[in-house]
Amino acid sequence: MNPRTGTRKTVRSRLAQLGAQPSAPATLPIDSPERIAIVLDAMGSDKSPAPEIAGAILACKLLPVRVLLTGPEDVLRPALDAALRGEEAAIEIVHASEWISMEDKAATSVRSKRDSSMRVGLKLVREKKAAGFFSAGNTGAAMATAKMVLGALNGVDRPALAAILPTVTGVPCTLLDVGANVDCNAQNLQQFAVMGQMYARSVLKISKPRVGLFSIGEEESKGNALTHETFPLLKDIGINFIGNVEGRDLFNGTVHVVVCDGFVGNVALKTTEGLAKLVRELLRESLTSTVTAKVGAMLSKQAFNEFKKRLDYSEYGGAPLLGVRGVCIVGHGSSNERAIMNGIRVAAEFAQAEINVQIEEQLATIAAKRPQPEAGLSPDHNAPLN
C-alpha cells in the first residue's frame, strides 16, 4: 500500500478540533492493568490510518482502554508519533504486513492474506491477549475472518451481523441479520432472537427488550414460509416476544430487537441509510433556500445539530457480529475518529458484559428442550481455524 499522504497533518488537525471533549476521569495510568485491551484494525477505513490513529488516541483519553493497532509498523509508527507530539498514550502497534482493502474480494483475501491486519487482530482476541476487535474495513472480509479465526459459539449455527437503528423514543432498535447470512432457516432466526435480546439488554441497557419478527403484517398468519415456521419457535424460549412487526416499527420505538434473514435485513438497512441521507439533504436545502430560511436556520442551529447527531452512525459505534467466540465490531468505511472511538467503546462494553457466556447458556437451555435426533457423530462446525 502507498501510505496515505497528509496522514500526520490530518490526525493532528482533527484531534485539535476535538480538544474541547471532556477528558477521561482523571484516571487510570497508561500502564494500568485495569485498562481493557481492544484491537483496532488500523488499515480498515477509507482514509486509514488517520481516523484510526486519531480515534485510538481519543479513546485512550476518554475510556479505560488500551488500544492495540494492527497494521504495517513502518506506516503506523511515524503517523502515531506525529499525532502524539511527544505525549504518552495507552497505544501499542502490532505489526501486520498485509491488509484487506474495500476492493478485495472477501472470499479470497481472507485466505490469501494470512498476515492481514484483520487476521492478526482477531488472533489476539482468540489468544486472550485482547478483549475485543474493531474494524472499519471490508465488512465481508471482517465477518469471514472472524468466523474463520474465532469460530462460532456453542449452539450457534450462523453468526449474525446486527445494526443499531435510531428511534423516535431515543431507545435504539437492533436489527439482525443485516447481511451475514442471505439464506436462513427458522432455527437460525431463533438463535438471532436470543443473541439480539442479550445484546440489547447487556450493552444497550434495555432491561426487558421487546423482540419482534420482521414480516409484512402483524397477524401471525402474515408473512412467508420462513416467518410462519419461525413464529412458534420464538414464543416459549424465555424472551419478550411481541409477535410480527413491520418496517415502520423499526423506528417508532415499539420494538427493541427485530430478527430476519440477512437478505431482508440488508435491504432494510440500505433503504434506511438512503432515506436518512435524503432527509438530511432536503432539510439542508430547505434551510438555505431563502434569506428568511437562512435566518431561521441560524436560530435553530442547535436543534438541527441535535437532529443530525441522532441520525449519525458515528454515535452508535458500529455493528456487532453476534455468535462468534469473541468480540468483533464492524464499523462504516467512512468512519471518522469519533466513530472509531465509539467502536472501541462498544467493543469494551461488549467484552465487559460477558454476553457470549449468557448466549451459550440460553441456547443450551433451548436445545435441551428440543427433540434430539438419533445418536451419531457429527463434525464440530464451531471449531475455529488457524
Query: In Å, how far are 227, 348, 351 from 203, measured between CA atoms?
Result: 27, 10, 9
Does position 127 have pLDDT exceeding 80, yes or no?
A: yes
pLDDT at 321: 94
**245 touches 254 (CB < 8 A):** yes
Q: Which residue has the higher pLDDT, 293 or 272?
A: 272
Query: In Å, how far are 244, 286, 307 from 292, measured between CA atoms?
Result: 46, 11, 21
**Element at 330 (helix H, strand E):** strand 328-330
**304 touches 297 (CB < 8 A):** yes
Q: Name all domains of the chain by residue range, CATH numbers in brackets.
A: 1-156+323-354 (3.40.50.10950), 160-317 (3.40.718.10)
Q: How confident is the model at residue 23 (pLDDT cuts 50, 70, 90)?
A: very low
pLDDT at 11: 46
Query: In Å, how far are 172, 249, 250, 316, 350 from 168, measured between CA atoms?
Result: 9, 10, 10, 15, 25
Burial classification of residue 65, based on how many CB atoms lie within 10 Å of its CB (0-12 exposed, 13-18 middle, 19 or more buried): buried
Region 212-228: mean pLDDT is 93
pLDDT at 323: 95
pTM exceeding the 0.95 threshold for the entire prediction: no
The CA distance from 135 to 324, in Å, is 15
Does position 307 have pLDDT exceeding 90, yes or no?
A: no
pLDDT at 25: 45
Query: In Å, how far are 110, 140, 171, 187, 239 from 144, measured between CA atoms?
Result: 7, 6, 30, 21, 29
Closest CA to 338 of 37, 56, 49, 41: 56
